[in-house]
Chains A and B, each alone.
Chain A
Amino acid sequence: MGLLGPAITAIAHPLRLSLCEIEYLSDKQMLTINLKLFLTDVNEAIVFDPYSNELAFCQPQESAQANPMLLDYLNRFFYVKVNGQLVDLQIKHKKLSGEGDNTALWVYFEHQQRPPLASLEIKNAVFTDLFFDQNNIVYVHARGESKSLMLNKKTAVHQLAF
Chain B
Amino acid sequence: MFSLLFVLLLFGCTAKQTAPEAEEETEEELTQRALAIHKRVLTLDTHADTPLRMIEPGFDMAERHDPRETGSKVDYPRMIEGGLDAIFFAAFVAQDIRDDDGNTRAKALCLQMIDSIVTSTEKNSDIVGLAVNPDDAYTLEKAGKRAIYIGIENGYPIGQDISNVAEYFDKGVRYITLVHSANNDLADSATDPDGPEHGGISTFGEEVVKEMNRLGIMVDVSHGNDSVFYDAIALSKAPIIASHSNARAVTNHERNMTDEMLKLMAENGGVVQLTMLADYLREAPPNPQRDSAVAELRATMTAISEMTDEERAALRQSFQELNEKYPNPPAMVEHVADHIDHIAKIAGIDHVGIGCDFDGGGGIEGVFDASEVMNITVELVKRGYTEEEIEKIWGGNLIRVFKEVQAVAEQIQSGASS
Contact = CB atoms under 8 A, between A and B. Distances in A.
Contact of B108 (A4, A47, A146, A155): A146
Nearest to B290: A9
Given A4-B94, A139-B109, A99 B193 contact: yes
A113 interface: no
Contact of B278 (A7, A147, A151): A7
Contact of B181 (A3, A99, A151): A3
B191 A1 contact: no
B193 A2 contact: no
Contacts of B180: 1
Contact of B109 (A5, A14, A46, A148): A148
Contacts of A69: 304-305
B68 A132 contact: yes
B193 A12 contact: no
Interface residues of B, number: 55
Given A2-B362, A13-B278, A150-B56, 7 more contacts: A1-B180, A2-B277, A11-B323, A14-B278, A102-B193, A135-B71, A148-B112
Contacts of B305: 65, 69
B90 interface: yes
A110 B280 CA distance: 39
A13 B364 contact: yes
B199 interface: no
A154 B70 contact: yes
Given A1-B153, A10-B323, A48-B298, A149 B56 contact: yes
B94 A19 contact: yes
A147 B361 contact: no
Contacts of A152: 56, 70-71
23 contacts: A1-B361, A2-B361, A5-B181, A8-B284, A10-B323, A11-B330, A12-B279, A12-B284, A13-B368, A14-B277, A14-B361, A15-B360, A48-B315, A98-B193, A130-B316, A133-B70, A133-B71, A134-B71, A137-B94, A139-B105, A148-B112, A149-B57, A158-B57
B105 A9 contact: no
Contacts of A153: 70
A133 to B, nearest CB: 3
B112 A147 contact: yes
A2 B328 contact: no
Interface stretch (B47-55, B142-150, B231-239): B47-55
B284 A2 contact: no
Nearest to B116: A148
A104 B327 CA distance: 26
A3 B191 contact: yes
Looking at chain A's contact residues, is the secondary structure mostly helix, strand, loop, or mixed? loop
A111 interface: no
Contacts of A12: 278-279, 284, 328, 330-331
A49 interface: yes
A88 interface: no
Interface string B53-96: 10111110000000011110000000000000000001011101
B258 to A, nearest CB: 19
Interface in B258-313: 277-280, 284, 287, 298, 301, 304-305
Contacts of A7: 278-279, 284
B319 interface: yes
Contact of A1 (B113, B193, B315, B360): B360
A134 B180 CA distance: 20
Nearest to A2: B361
B357 interface: yes
Interface in B142-190: 153, 180-181
Contacts of A154: 69-70
B363 interface: yes
A76 to B, nearest CB: 8
Contacts of A132: 68-71
B328 A97 contact: no
Given A15-B361, A141-B105, A145-B108, A9 B287 contact: yes
A137 B68 contact: no
Contacts of B70: 132-133, 152-154
A152 to B, nearest CB: 7
Contacts of A133: 70-71
A13 B58 CA distance: 24
A154 B368 CA distance: 20
A41 B327 CA distance: 19
Nearest to B177: A1
Given A1-B180, A129-B316, A11 B327 contact: yes
A132 B69 CA distance: 7
Given A132-B69, A147-B112, A155 B56 contact: yes
Contact of B55 (A4, A99, A148): A148
A80 to B, nearest CB: 16
Contact of A13 (B92, B316, B363): B363
Given A7-B284, A13-B368, A137 B52 contact: yes
